[in-house]
């Protein structure tokens, strides 16, 4: 099987949510001595990006994204030791992101999609869950020293807690070193500007795009 | 300087736009809906009409004489007494008084009796009280009174119900198990809703309002459609209204199908036909408001979805017009200017049969 065929198989495995096919593609890549970084970037990740695009255009849904991520993970897991042996990395230089639904808000589906897409994009995601007290969010930021802290609010009555997070981040001296990110149905760019959040995104793929485009604060 | 008109953003804030800007936003909203749902974009006459409506300076506008439509109010029974920081006004009163006020003072054309939890599942332990309330209500009211609640299938998942939460299972990459949990919950949902409505029909209810169908995704809608089908079979004359939770059916199962039709990803014009097939009399589309866009954009978009549904629906359409739906800002108590302008456009441009 040629290099292109193996890479295409990896991409197709993600699009078809096929774990066995993904494992086969990864094993064949190792047998043929292919560059694991290229197989991941041009095969698995490309397939995942297509799934993400179909999700954003509402042609595919959360179970499909999770199933595709499952297939991708199976393939990447096989390639990872090879990656480590060669001393290579995916080379994206991406950092940690702490994410949660804000205090008082139990809605988590959108936040979990963002967490998943950030993870797929190469960020180390620490998903705290839902209805997380503002002080705990800042506490976790102190512990993990992430590049970003993301909060999601689905209600106008809970989005006001994003102000508290901004204030507590400032008080803790973390605001200068951490990108604060906000999202959720009632949240807008204007709201983000008003409360001093660094990044607003309307959906998961926009969140990844915007974070990718930002320089870490420290 | 061009004249500006006071409109709203989707989060309720004031925004001032020129006629040209309003036109551009209505068109852009319409194109967004047309692109998503593969339905026709509004023609220039429709767009002009929406623009003219949005430019009417009055705080409150109404439809032209002769174009009035029936208006009802979900959970209006609790709106007088309720005061939870939302649009309730906190005046001590019973549900019956709330309903009678809506009928005799506010001009509601039909009403529903609803429980404070407003979901079907919590009605089970208080069914005797609800049956008695329905009997008393029917003896005092003139307009049709149905029983109303949300399918709210989320209550069947842990910690509120017996099944594992598909969201948690998916996070653990257990897709098949998540789908099975959805199917199991849908079975229980159908069973409970049919049982509750059998009791309410025995107590004189004129029918049922399934409110916010699909709130827990495609499985939620699946369970509801099967309940509609069973109730239609048992009660051929009852009124059945099925209103949606959002503009599109969220695919939390992804593959569940009713009558051979995969439910995930259905848009209002497709939902309407399925509701009719199951046995509904009335379908209520709910078009989501984008808080970052203007009311012109949101209304152009909402009218496009709903007009397509009106044209394809075999049953009357009573559109949801309230907080965060139908081109109305997402705000606890939506302003009357936004509500009345959007409602006028829904009746006169989209051609809905009721609100």
DSSP assignment of B30-50 equals HHHHHHHHT-PPPPHHHHHHH
Of the two residues A117 and B106, the one the predictor is more confident about is B106
Q: Which residues of chain B does A75 touch, with a Cβ-Cβ cutoff of 8 Å? A: none
Question: Do A64 and A148 share a domain, yes or no?
Answer: no
Query: Cβ(B9)–Cβ(B293) under 8 Å?
Result: yes
Is the residue at A218 inside a domain? no
Q: Please state, in angstroms and as integers, the Cα–Cα distance from residue B61 to each residue in A183, B269, B326, following that order.
A: 34, 28, 16
Query: Cβ(A150)–Cβ(A182) under 8 Å?
Result: yes
Is the residue at A21 inside a domain? yes
Is the residue at A55 inside a domain? yes
Chain centre distance of CA B20: 32
Is the residue at A90 inside a domain? no
Query: Cβ(B151)–Cβ(B189) under 8 Å?
Result: yes
Query: Cβ(A211)–Cβ(A122) under 8 Å?
Result: no
8 Å CB contact of A62 and B332: no
Question: Do A100 and A207 share a domain, yes or no?
Answer: yes
Query: In 3-state terms, what secondary structure has residue B258?
Result: strand
CATH of the domain at A35: 1.10.1240.10
Question: Do A108 and A208 share a domain, yes or no?
Answer: yes
Q: Which residue of A has its CA nearest to B86?
A: A157
Question: Do A165 and A103 share a domain, yes or no?
Answer: yes
8 Å CB contact of A156 and B331: yes
Domain holding A51, by residue range, is: 3-85
- Residue at which a domain ends, from A39, A55, A85: A85
Question: Do A169 and A68 share a domain, yes or no?
Answer: no
Confidence of residue A107 (pLDDT cuts 50, 70, 90): confident
On average, the pLDDT of chain B sits at 95
The reply to whether A194 touches chain B by the CB within 8 Å rule is no
Q: Which residues of chain A does B175 touch, with a Cβ-Cβ cutoff of 8 Å? A: 63, 66-67, 70
Distance CA A170, CA B146 (A): 53
Question: Do A77 and A106 share a domain, yes or no?
Answer: no
Question: Do A30 and A119 share a domain, yes or no?
Answer: no
- Residue at which a domain ends, from A85, A116, A148: A85
Question: How many angstroms away from the CA of B254 is the closest CA of chain A?
Answer: 6
Question: Do A10 and A115 share a domain, yes or no?
Answer: no
Structurally, how many domains does chain A consist of?
2
Cross-sheet strand order for the sheet of B207-213: B111-113, B145-149, B207-213, B239-244, B282-284
8 Å CB contact of A64 and B248: no
Q: What is the reported pLDDT for B306?
A: 98
Question: Do A119 and A66 share a domain, yes or no?
Answer: no
Question: Do A45 and A148 share a domain, yes or no?
Answer: no
Determine phi and psi for A187, rounding to 5 degrees. Answer: -80, 135
**For chain A, what percent of residues have pLDDT higher than 70?**
96
Query: Cβ(B186)–Cβ(B223) under 8 Å?
Result: yes
Question: Do A181 and A209 share a domain, yes or no?
Answer: yes
- Residues B136-163, mean pLDDT to the nearest whole number: 96
Q: What is the reported pLDDT for A88?
A: 57
Is cis: bond before B159, omega within 30 of 0? Answer: yes
CATH of the domain at A198: 3.40.50.280
Is the residue at A142 inside a domain? yes
Distance CA B132, CA A31 (A): 74
Q: What single DSSP character describes residue B69?
A: -
- Residue at which a domain ends, from A41, A58, A85: A85
* Rounded (5°) CA angle B242-A58-A11: 145
Question: Do A48 and A102 share a domain, yes or no?
Answer: no
Q: What is the ipTM of this complex?
A: 0.77
Q: What is the pTM of this model?
A: 0.83
Is the residue at A195 inside a domain? yes
Question: How many angstroms away from the CA of A61 is the closest CA of chain B?
Answer: 5
Q: What is the reported pLDDT for A48?
A: 84
Question: How many angstroms away from the CA of B232 is the closest CA of chain A?
Answer: 31
Is the residue at A76 inside a domain? yes
Q: What is the reported pLDDT for B72?
A: 86
């Amino acid at each position: 099987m040629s290099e292109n065929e193996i890479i295409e198989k990896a991409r197709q495995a993600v699009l078809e949510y096929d774990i066995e096919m993904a494992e086969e593609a990864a094993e064949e890549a190792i047998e043929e001595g292919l560059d694991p970084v290229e197989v991941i970037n041009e095969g698995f990740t490309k397939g995942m990006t297509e799934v993400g695009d179909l999700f954003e255009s509402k042609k595919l849904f959360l179970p499909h994204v999770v199933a595709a991520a499952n297939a991708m993970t199976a393939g990447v897991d096989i390639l990872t030791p090879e990656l480590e042996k060669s001393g290579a990395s995916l080379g994206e230089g991406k950092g940690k992101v702490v994410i949660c639904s804000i205090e008082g808000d139990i809605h988590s589906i959108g936040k979990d999609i963002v967490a998943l897409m950030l993870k797929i994009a190469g960020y180390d995601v620490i998903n705290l869950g839902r209805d997380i007290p503002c002080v705990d969010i800042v506490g976790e930021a102190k512990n993990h020293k992430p590049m970003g802290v993301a909060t999601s609010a689905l209600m106008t009555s809970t989005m006001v807690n994003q102000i508290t997070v901004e204030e507590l981040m400032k008080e803790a001296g973390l605001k200068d070193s951490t990108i604060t990110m906000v999202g959720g149905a009632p949240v807008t760019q204007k709201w983000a500007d008003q409360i001093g959040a660094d990044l607003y995104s309307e959906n998961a793929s926009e969140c990844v795009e915007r974070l990718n485009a930002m320089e870490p604060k420290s | 300087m061009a004249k500006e008109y006071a409109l709203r953003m989707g989060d309720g804030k004031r925004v001032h736009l020129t006629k040209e800007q309003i036109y551009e936003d209505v068109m852009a909203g319409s194109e967004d809906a047309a692109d998503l749902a593969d339905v026709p974009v509004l023609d220039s006459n429709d767009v002009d009409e929406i623009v003219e409506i949005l430019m009417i300076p009055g705080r409150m506008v109404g439809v032209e004489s002769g174009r009035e439509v029936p208006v009802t109010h979900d959970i209006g029974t609790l709106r007088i007494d309720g005061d939870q920081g939302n649009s309730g006004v906190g005046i001590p009163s019973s549900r019956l008084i709330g309903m009678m006020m809506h009928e005799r003072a506010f001009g509601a054309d039909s009403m529903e009796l609803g429980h404070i939890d407003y979901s079907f599942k919590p009605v089970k332990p208080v069914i005797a009280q609800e049956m008695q309330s329905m009997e008393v209500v029917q003896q005092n009211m003139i307009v049709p009174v149905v029983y109303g609640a949300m399918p709210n299938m989320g209550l069947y998942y842990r910690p509120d119900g017996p099944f594992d939460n598909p969201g948690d299972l998916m996070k653990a990459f257990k897709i098949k198990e998540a789908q099975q949990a959805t199917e199991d919950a849908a079975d229980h949902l159908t069973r409970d809703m049919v049982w509750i409505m059998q009791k309410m029909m025995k107590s004189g209810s004129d029918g049922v309002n399934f409110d916010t169908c699909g709130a827990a995704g495609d499985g939620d809608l699946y369970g509801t459609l099967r309940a509609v089908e069973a109730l239609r079979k048992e009660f051929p004359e009852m009124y059945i209204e099925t209103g949606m939770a959002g503009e599109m059916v969220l695919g939390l199962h992804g593959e569940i199908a009713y009558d051979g039709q995969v439910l995930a990803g259905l848009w209002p014009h497709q939902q309407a036909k399925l509701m009719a097939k199951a046995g509904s009399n009335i379908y209520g589309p709910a078009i989501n408001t984008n808080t970052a866009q203007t009311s012109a954009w949101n209304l152009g978009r909402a009218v496009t979805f709903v007009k397509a549904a009106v044209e394809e629906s075999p049953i009357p359409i009573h559109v949801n017009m309230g907080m965060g739906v139908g081109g109305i800002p997402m705000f606890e108590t939506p302003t009357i200017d936004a509500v009345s302008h959007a409602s006028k456009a829904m009746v006169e441009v989209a051609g809905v049969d009721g609100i």
